[in-house]
Amino acid sequence: METEIVHPLAKYLREAMMPHIWCSGCGNGIILNCFVQAIDELKMDLNKLVVVSGIGCIGRAAGYVNTNSFHTTHGRPIAFATGVKLANPELEVVIISGDGDLFAIGGNHFIHAARRNIGIKVICANNFNYGMTGGQQGPTTPIEALTTTTPYGNIEHPFNLVHLAAASGATYVARWTTLHVRKLTQSIKKLLQKEGFGFIEVVSPCPEIFGRYNKMRTGLEMMEWFRKASMVENFSDPAKAEITPERIVVGEFVDIAKVSYEKLLHEKIAEINEKKMAMVS
């Protein structure tokens, strides 16, 4: 009798969508693996889990996970996820998307969702460029980095994503690289159990475009950069956590308790309805 070999996390993936389309050396597969590992360890009810993504390489994750999922338009996953969460607060809504999608065209949605403390969770794959559309410079491209649109070096100051998230009001903020697999998995587990708006930045290799323009032609070379430059500084000042070629500050930066927007909203609706009933009687 032949023994069928089944991957232990296979039930969390849509096998019909495989093989995936991500490039060799890309970090997106690592991020997806950490995510499904986290939901497996938490024994989450997949019927109550919703994964939302926008346009970009990592956006394909919404099509690969075997849950309720939506691949939305560019820059709009947070707007869509907000509607899902407010319509049914019992659902766990997770956004897996990229730096360009979330912080360029989608930047306004991000800061206001964090400000309102809407109970959605955001995992951002930061590969420093628009990898899917040709490797153009994006909102997180480091100073002096080469891209297809900055062939002489980037002169725009990039966003410090963990500082932006913390300043906007997120209840949980962390940054890891795809080298920090175990720490990332544990961080995602913590993220999924938090009330309110949470955010994890995952610094991820894009060797096919960003890497080869910046003297890192393989995924391993980019991972070696992460190994040398990463410094774990938990609960340090996120304002001082800029990413440079010499220094990538990783760790947890914010972990606070705050009542979520949807809970306050439904409490307010109940209060208004109670007052209306009192007026009628």
Identify which of 111, 94, 93 has the alpha carbon closest to the alpha carbon of residue 102: 111
H/E run at residue 98? strand 92-98
Owning domain of residue 58:
10-280
**Is 5 inside a domain boundary?**
no
**Is 1 inside a domain boundary?**
no
Identify which of 158, 184, 220 has the alpha carbon closest to the alpha carbon of residue 34: 184
Angle subtended at Cα 170 by Cα 167 and Cα 173, rounded to the nearest 5 degrees = 95
With H, G, I as helix, E, B as strand and everything else as coil, classify residue 213: helix
Are residues 77 and 95 in contact, defined by beta-carbon separation less than 8 angstroms?
Answer: yes
**Is 241 inside a domain boundary?**
yes
Are residues 170 and 199 in contact, defined by beta-carbon separation less than 8 angstroms?
Answer: yes
Domain CATH code at residue 246: 3.40.50.970
Count of structural domains within the chain: 1
**Is 4 inside a domain boundary?**
no
Please state, in angstroms and rounded to a whole number, the distance separating the CA atoms of residues 178 and 184. 8
Q: Output the tens digit of pLDDT for each of the chain's 281 residues.
A: 677 788 889 999 998 998 999 999 999 999 999 999 999 999 999 999 999 999 999 999 999 999 999 999 999 999 999 999 999 999 999 999 999 999 999 999 999 999 999 999 999 999 999 999 999 999 999 999 999 999 999 999 999 999 999 999 999 999 999 999 999 999 999 999 999 999 999 999 999 999 999 999 999 999 999 999 999 999 999 999 999 999 999 999 999 999 999 999 999 999 999 888 888 87
**Is 232 inside a domain boundary?**
yes
